[in-house]
Amino acid sequence: MTDHLLRTASVAHTDLPRNNGIPLDMGWIESVRVNRSAVERRAATLVTRRTVKQIWQAAWLLRAITFLDLTTLSGDDTPSNVQRLCAKARQPVRADLLAALGASDLPVRVGAVCVYHNLIETAVEALRGTSIPVAAVSTGFPAAQTPLRLKLEEIRESVAAGAAEIDVVISRAHVLRGDWCALYDEVRAFRAACGTAHMKVILAVGELGTLRHVAQASLVAMMAGADFIKTSTGKEAVNATLPFGLVMVRAIREYYERTGYRVGFKPAGGIRTAKQALDWLILMKEELGDAWLTPALFRIGASALLTDIERQLSHYATGRYSAAHRHPMP
């Protein structure tokens, strides 16, 4: 693998100024318009206009690993499978594959490990000695149908347990009723409870009704101080799709142009193949540029995805696809 590939795949976890938020701007929110046909056409053609092949594809896939929030959010999660997940986070690609790719010296590690609240301490201990943060889902994930006081207490307890990032879920009813003041106040309260922990705001886009609602909710969340906006919990019937993502990243771009704050983006739910991961990287590069292609501003929430990325890297290194069981996930 060439030196250029090594530089391309190596990405630092950059510290950036946090989004402090701004007062709720109802004029801006009400002015939002989304042309659904144009969005769908752009999303459909985006990934056909730019292709990544051969050595460049291997580089992009190594880079995609650094954006992963390696996640386990199942009802049968146990400390042992979280420990195995954290071991995979420490060494996401087999050492022999990295050697074959000439990438043994690269800091190839995931962006974070994402777990339920009760397994935060297990994950923190398993990742001790690394710079990999633990993210926790909170605020009554995934439905968010619990009282606000309990949501705030859950956030505070997750931070106290060692979570450096909190993935909060909005109350979809605020969006569906167009109650933007209530949504702003809710997210603002979440941000205060997070303290120094970074806050990713999950919009659950598949349940918001329209693309205009997705754009409006994205802007309100950012005005309230979101460090990231995230598509989905992964538990909805429809999760991360490129049209939803396109609307959200354009809201991020508009917010940056007006305020100077860079807000991150996290698609999650249903992203299982290396090809899908490349599609999301292309979306980010085309719409937001290289400045957003860093773990500080872009994450992909997934678990099974890493197995397929490893299989593609194996194909590049050996010319053959290996069986999925050779790249096990917990």
Q: What is the per-residue pLDDT across 230-245, written as a single tens digit (0 to 9) for each?
A: 999 999 999 999 999 9
CA-to-CA separations, 146 to 1, 117, 127, in angstroms, rounded = 51, 15, 31
Instruction: Specify the pLDDT at position 238.
Output: 94
More confident position, 17 or 114: 114
Structure letter (DSSP) for residue 133: P
**Which residues are part of the catalytic machinery?**
167, 230, 266
CATH number of the domain to which 52 belongs: 3.20.20.70
Position 198 in a domain: yes
Position 14 in a domain: no
Q: Which pLDDT band, with edges at 50, 70 and 90, does 13 fall under?
A: very low
Mean pLDDT lowest among 9-13, 129-133, 197-201, 211-215: 9-13
Q: What is the per-residue pLDDT across 83-101, written as a single tens digit (0 to 9) for each?
A: 999 999 999 998 888 998 8
More confident position, 211 or 98: 211
Instruction: Specify the pLDDT at position 55.
Output: 82
Q: Which pLDDT band, with edges at 50, 70 and 90, does 288 fall under?
A: very high
265, β-bridge pairs: 229, 298
End-to-end Cα, the chain, rounded Å: 30
Burial 276-296 (b: 16+ CB within 10 A, else e): bbbbbbbbbeebbeeebbbbb
Which residues constitute the domain of residue 290? Answer: 3-9+23-326
Q: Convert 273-310 into a string of H (helix), E (strand) and C (coil).
A: CHHHHHHHHHHHHHHCCHHHCCCCCECEEECCHHHHHH
Position 276 in a domain: yes
Position 228 in a domain: yes
> What is the tally of structural domains in the chain?
1
Position 152 in a domain: yes
% of the chain exceeding 90 in pLDDT: 81
Position 15 in a domain: no
Position 218 in a domain: yes
Q: Beta-carbon neighbour count of residue 29 at 10 Å?
A: 18
pTM above 0.85, yes or no: yes
What is the rounded average pLDDT of the residues 126-134?
A: 96
Position 43 in a domain: yes
Q: Is the pLDDT of residue 2 over 60?
A: no
Instruction: Specify the pLDDT at position 235.
Output: 94
Q: Report the chain's mean pLDDT, rounded to a whole number.
A: 92
Q: Which pLDDT band, with edges at 50, 70 and 90, does 53 fall under?
A: confident
Contacts of residues 91-98 at CB distance under 8 Å and 24 or more positions apart, as own/partner, are 92/65, 92/68, 92/306, 92/310, 93/62, 93/65, 93/310, 93/313, 94/310, 94/327, 97/310, 97/313, 97/314, 97/317
More confident position, 12 or 296: 296
Rounded to whole angstroms, how far apart are CA atoms 190 and 37? Answer: 34
Q: Which pLDDT band, with edges at 50, 70 and 90, does 122 fall under?
A: very high
More confident position, 9 or 83: 83
Rounded to whole angstroms, how far apart are CA atoms 115 and 132? Answer: 13
